[in-house]
Structure 1
């Protein structure tokens, strides 16, 4: 339990104060914060709320979307996200890098743009003591959300930079299928900034963004992936992040109880 973190999306209907209170009631010591509900209460107030509750911040979600057309706007928003990560003393800023620009089919160009924007942000992140965490996403989301589709691609992008400034996210939902995942997690030693868990459930819902399940409800071998991450030297929080419309309609305390139970049964490192 001392490494369990609740990503706020798992209780999506909760405000930040409600999510913090639910963590305290359930004995969950860490929280992954999303920027939109943080903005509703204000960054300074949100940071104070979390600190006063005795919680850690495992991540801030999210920066990225580097492939959007207005580069100046992309850079400005990500610098704001870096400021917010520093204010929360979060372990990392999760980067969802963005999909193909509207009307484009040029995947290599989109990936090159991600590398260029990342390089521009690295000095700012380093100056603020913030670790950027590149999140590879399942290929299902390549067109609209993340042109980094494998952990290997994310590591290729991270490697020119200081591991203390640019790391990667290992999210079981996005990497479980990869036949090269064992080698890539070993390669990620020293670069794993976040380990996120949820299950891959079938049949997929119509909105595939909401295709995540509670650990044990689907097909992922969490013990295997967790063991690989531990072997690679990761000692940080294990963040449960579940996008699921049915779960979002449930009482958050019921959800937290299930998360805690399934974490102990299937995941705990």
Structure 2
């Protein structure tokens, strides 16, 4: 459990203070937070509660959406928020086409990283480019492969730009394990979620807890460890059925799921 982090999106409707207090009571050392509930509860209050509870904020989601008109100011604010929370990484969902060609949209992501990297270094928070499954390319992220995410990060210092590796989004890629090995210290955030069938009508909420679907978690965990990543391991699951349950039950089941796929693996 010393590396486990509970991403609050796994219990979407559990109020932020209850998430943090629930994690502290259960001995969970880390929590991944989202900007909207942090803003609702208050940034300074959220940061203080996490510090007082002894629960480390392992990531903040989300920045990105580089096709939006206000992307620059919004991402600068997001970096500042992550710094106040003590989060080492700001996860970037890079945005879809927004009326542009695929090449133009991807060029905006590269330009956005160039504009934000100096501020990321100033505040000590890494921009974590998250490759998302290709089915989200048009509306959520034109960065659809781990190779593309690493190529975007490559021109920048590792302290400024890394990648967010989510098993749900990259499990299908035949090159994923060689790319994880190549990523090395570029891995800024590591998240677990399973690919389950059948897919729901709303594919956004079709993820499963680790061990309930088709992702080969031991291979991923071993590959990431061999790449040198020793940071937190978050579980982030978007699932409407899971969200309908009480937060404490969701947390308990998430802990069991995490333990089921990490048990016996060295370095986890």
Tell me the residue number matched to 1:94.
Answer: 91
Tell me the residue number matched to 1:13.
Answer: 13
User: Is the CA contact (8 Å cut-off) linking 2:14 and 2:246 kept in structure 1?
Assistant: no
User: Is the CA contact (8 Å cut-off) linking 1:93 and 1:130 kept in structure 2?
Assistant: yes
Give aligned pairs, total.
Answer: 264
Runs of at least 5 residues in structure 1 that lack an aligned partner in the other structure: none
The structure 1 residue matched to 2:232, chosen from 218, 230, 237, is 237
Runs of at least 5 residues in structure 2 that lack an aligned partner in the other structure: none
1:213 aligns with 2:174: no
User: Is the CA contact (8 Å cut-off) linking 1:26 and 1:253 kept in structure 2?
Assistant: no
In 1, Cα distance between equivalents of 2:9 and 2:41: 17
Instruction: Note the C-alpha offset of 1:267.
Output: 2.9
In 1, Cα distance between equivalents of 2:262 and 2:193: 10
Tell me the residue number matched to 1:28.
Answer: 28
RMSD value, Cα: 0.9
Instruction: Note the C-alpha offset of 1:25.
Output: 2.3
User: Is the CA contact (8 Å cut-off) linking 1:97 and 1:135 kept in structure 2?
Assistant: yes
In 1, Cα distance between equivalents of 2:148 and 2:199: 25
In 2, Cα distance between equivalents of 1:199 and 1:255: 15
In 2, Cα distance between equivalents of 1:121 and 1:216: 37
User: Is the CA contact (8 Å cut-off) linking 2:195 and 2:208 kept in structure 1?
Assistant: yes
Tell me the residue number matched to 1:65.
Answer: 65
State the Cα deviation string for residues 144-179 of structure 1 (Å, max 9, x = none).
001000000000000000001100011000010000
Tell me the residue number matched to 2:217.
Answer: 222
In 1, Cα distance between equivalents of 2:40 and 2:77: 15
- So what's the TM-score if we normalise by structure 2? 0.97
1:123 aligns with 2:123: no
State the Cα deviation string for residues 93-133 of structure 1 (Å, max 9, x = none).
0000000013x4x1011101110111001111111111110
Q: Which runs of 4+ in 1 moved over 6 A?
A: none
In 2, Cα distance between equivalents of 1:40 and 1:267: 34
Instruction: Note the C-alpha offset of 1:26.
Output: 1.8
- So what's the TM-score if we normalise by structure 1? 0.96
1:95 aligned counterpart, secondary structure: strand
Tell me the residue number matched to 2:2.
Answer: 2
Tell me the residue number matched to 2:77.
Answer: 80
Instruction: Note the C-alpha offset of 1:255.
Output: 1.2
User: Is the CA contact (8 Å cut-off) linking 2:88 and 2:124 kept in structure 1?
Assistant: no
Tell me the residue number matched to 1:177.
Answer: 172
In 2, Cα distance between equivalents of 1:180 and 1:154: 13
State the Cα deviation string for residues 169-200 of structure 1 (Å, max 9, x = none).
11000010000001110110010001000110
In 2, Cα distance between equivalents of 1:214 and 1:157: 29
